Amino acid sequence: MHPDVQKILLSEEQIRERVKELGQQISQDYHAREVLVVGILKGAMIFLADLVRNLSVSTYFDFMAVSSYGSGTKSSGAVRILKDLDKSIEGKHVLIVEDIVDTGLTLKYLVENLKSRNPESLKICTLLDKPDRRTVDVQVDYTGFTIPNEFVVGYGLDFDERYRNLPYIAVLKPEVYQG
Ligand code: 5GP
């Protein structure tokens, strides 16, 4: 275990099993259709890489990067696009792949933004959900794990750009956040 980690919330094994299940469910739901997976950088990259290898439907992907609100402006809901999609999604079956839904503000913005581009369908898949923190209503179609209101890192999620490479989801020791 990494020395900065206080506890492992979700092990590699638990994540692998759940991602496999999600892949099967999504493959069933989309069956003969092609799915355009839209990964939200950077947090969702590892989840996306594992998820798409569990999809049996024809899949292609694109990426978006959005700025998360800075600390202290949590309720502003201001989201900025840092990197937009490469191609049009008009008429496509789009599946947004997110790392975590917290307040829901980022996802609400993304859904509204992508809906305005006229996809054939738009669904959301998130690895983690912290429902206690939700301030806006967003409908998530596929959720990996519902977790308590704790700040987590690993499997793509960072603290100050670190810990994304941990193969599990973990909570850090308090002294790490105090820097
Ligand atoms: P929301 O807009 O739903 O409040 O926030 C979503 C974004 O906040 C996520 O995509 C993620 O970047 C960040 N975030 C929220 N909770 C956590 C957490 O527990 N750990 C990490 N590393 N990022 C989080």
Segment 39-87, tens digit of pLDDT:
999 999 999 999 999 999 999 999 999 987 655 445 566 789 999 999 9
Give the pocket of ligand 1 (CB within 6 Å): 43, 68, 98-107, 151-153, 157-159
pLDDT at 34 over 80: yes
Encode pLDDT of 101-117 as tens digits: 999 999 999 999 999 99
In a domain, 106, yes or no: yes
In a domain, 131, yes or no: yes
Question: Is 102 among the residues known to form the active site?
Answer: yes
Kindly report the pTM of this predicted structure: 0.94
In a domain, 166, yes or no: no
Residue to mutate, 68, 108, 158, ligand 1, most ligand atoms under 8 Å from C-beta? 68
In a domain, 160, yes or no: no
Q: 92: domain CATH number? A: 3.40.50.2020
Nearest-angstrom CA–CA distance, 143 and 124: 9
pLDDT at 75: 53
- Domain hosting 37: range is 13-150
In a domain, 96, yes or no: yes
Q: Whose CA is nearest to atom 15 of ligand 1?
A: 102
Number of other residues whose CB lies within 10 A of the CB of residue 121:
13
Mean pLDDT rounded to a whole number for the chain: 93
Q: Whose CA is nearest to atom 23 of ligand 1?
A: 157
Q: State in Å: Cα 21 to ligand 1 middle.
A: 23
Of 96, 178, 128, nearest in space to 9 by CA:
128
Q: In what order do the strands lie in the sheet with 93-101?
A: 80-83, 59-67, 35-41, 93-101, 121-129, 142-146
In a domain, 174, yes or no: no
User: What end-to-end distance do the CA atoms of the chain give, in Å?
Assistant: 20
Query: For the residues 136-141, what does the mean pLDDT come to?
Result: 94
In a domain, 20, yes or no: yes
In a domain, 159, yes or no: no
How many structural domains are present in the chain? 1
pLDDT at 8 over 60: yes
